[in-house]
Amino acid sequence: MPPRTRTPVMTSFLLNDPITPRVVAKFKERNAMAVVLRNVADHNWGWFSREDERMHLQTVDEGARTGPNKAKVWLEDRGKRVCVAAEGKLSGADLKKLQAKVNAERPNIESRWINFMIKNRWLKAELEGSKVKLTAYPASHNKYTREIDLREEFPGAYDGPRSWDLDPPKIDLDEEHAALAVGREAALDDREHIDLTKWIFKN
């Protein structure tokens, strides 16, 4: 009797592997992008989900995400507001158009970037006494700090028996509102909020 031949069974690890959806999700996250400015100097501008720890805009329209058509501008230098070419070829006229649009849209751009910073844990807040120390990009060479004195922001709010030292308020970074939530309430929406765009970036 001739030996039996075994028919190979074909299986797909891609279909059966439970890790695959997580891998796909991570791939999509790495390649996700935010479009911040549209149709400026013939491009759409924004940033990708895995980016330099420094506020910037780069071309995100198809055909300009990589290669010779890609361009990038820095929007800060350790917290100081700038708008300077960083990468790629951008004519003087196009850079001026972009700078004008950035100046007009600064509040929105900075708010969205702070959302992004909080999401990526690029912003840290620590309370000592009545002073909050904000550290931007704590693990980067672009790191810098800001200080907010809550006594000045909320005069008289935490004096008396429930003092700053004995019963300090809670502080949390509020990603949704690009703000610092301050207070003793559990819910962030019930606390006072400090707009971080007025503190993180300076002229």
DSSP for 147-195?
A: EEEHHHHSTTTT-TTS-TTTSPPEEEEETTTTEEEEES-SSGGGSEEEE
Task: Sort 179 into a burial class: Cβ within 10 Å, 0-12 / 13-18 / 19+.
Answer: buried
Beta bridge partners of 47: 34
Q: Residue 140 — very low, low, confident or very high, per pLDDT cuts 50/70/90?
A: very high
Q: Residue 1 — very low, low, confident or very high, per pLDDT cuts 50/70/90?
A: low
Cβ–Cβ under 8 Å, residues 125 and 148: no
Better-predicted residue by pLDDT, 168 or 91: 91
In whole angstroms, give the CA distance from residue 71 to residue 86.
8
Mean pLDDT within 166-184: 93
Q: Residue 31 — very low, low, confident or very high, per pLDDT cuts 50/70/90?
A: low
| pLDDT exceeds 50 at position 99 | yes
List of residues 6+ apart from 155 with CB closer than 8 A: none
Token pair 């004519």: residue = 91
Q: What is the pLDDT of residues 12-30, one digit of tens each?
A: 333 344 544 443 344 344 4
What does pLDDT average to over the chain? Answer: 85
Q: What is the pLDDT of residues 46-77, one digit of tens each?
A: 999 877 999 999 999 998 898 889 999 999 99
Mean pLDDT within 123-127: 97
